[in-house]
Amino acid sequence: MKTLLTVFCFFTLFSAVAQNSVFKACIYLEDSVTVSNGFVVFPLTKDTVFTDKSGIISFELTNPKYRLCYFTWMGLKSKIFRFTSSEAPVSIQKVFVPDTAFYRPFHEKHVCPVCLKSKYVIPIVYGYPSPKMFKRFKKNRIMLGGCIIQEYQPEFFCRRDEFEF
């Protein structure tokens, strides 16, 4: 019994040491240029972690609320990461922004990539708002996107997560 307990303790200790729970990532633009002033957002807590001096973002996956996240730089978003356990890869991961391929099916189905629901998703309408647009905005039917038209601007807004995609 004593031996069994010792073996059990040894394995618990060993697995705790061997398992890495810190996720480390670098943000890259699609053309493989790395950026240094991005951050990670955890939609469940609204917490953020910024890039450190060496250009790396690192955070603990031991907190289950940190297992849902996305990386962002200048409004460009990575895909949504969903970790199923606290186990993180040992090496630094390359995260790309914007991940247009990831968001395409969500755009097509009008589904929020964070909560995976369509109930709270409304379109973002750009341009100078007309009185009709204002009415629809007040009724939470649309989100006003402003007059500036840029590349990669979000098409939808989830009212539940306050998430643009």
Among 113, 114, 94, 95, CA closest to 103: 113
Q: Considering the rule CB under 5 A, would residue 82 count as an interface residue with Zn ion?
A: no
Q: Considering the rule CB under 5 A, would residue 65 count as an interface residue with Zn ion?
A: no
Task: Report how many residues bind Zn ion under the rule CB under 5 A.
Answer: 6
Q: Are 96 and 114 in contact (CB under 8 A)?
A: no
Q: Considering the rule CB under 5 A, would residue 115 count as an interface residue with Zn ion?
A: yes
Contact region for Zn ion (CB under 5 A) — 90-98, 100-108, 114-122, 134-142? Answer: 114-122
The SS3 of residue 5 is helix
Structure-block tokens of residue 58: 């690192």
The SS3 of residue 24 is strand
Q: Considering the rule CB under 5 A, would residue 41 count as an interface residue with Zn ion?
A: no
- Exactly one of 40, 61, 97, 112 binds Zn ion (CB under 5 A); that residue is 112
Q: Considering the rule CB under 5 A, would residue 158 count as an interface residue with Zn ion?
A: yes
- Exactly one of 104, 119, 135, 160 binds Zn ion (CB under 5 A); that residue is 160
Q: Considering the rule CB under 5 A, would residue 111 count as an interface residue with Zn ion?
A: no
Q: Are 52 and 46 in contact (CB under 8 A)?
A: no
Q: Are 152 and 100 in contact (CB under 8 A)?
A: yes
Map tokens 């972690």 to a residue.
49
Least spacing, CB of residue 122 vs Zn ion, in Å: 11
Which residues of the shown chain bind Zn ion in the complex (CB under 5 A)?
A: 112, 114-115, 158, 160-161
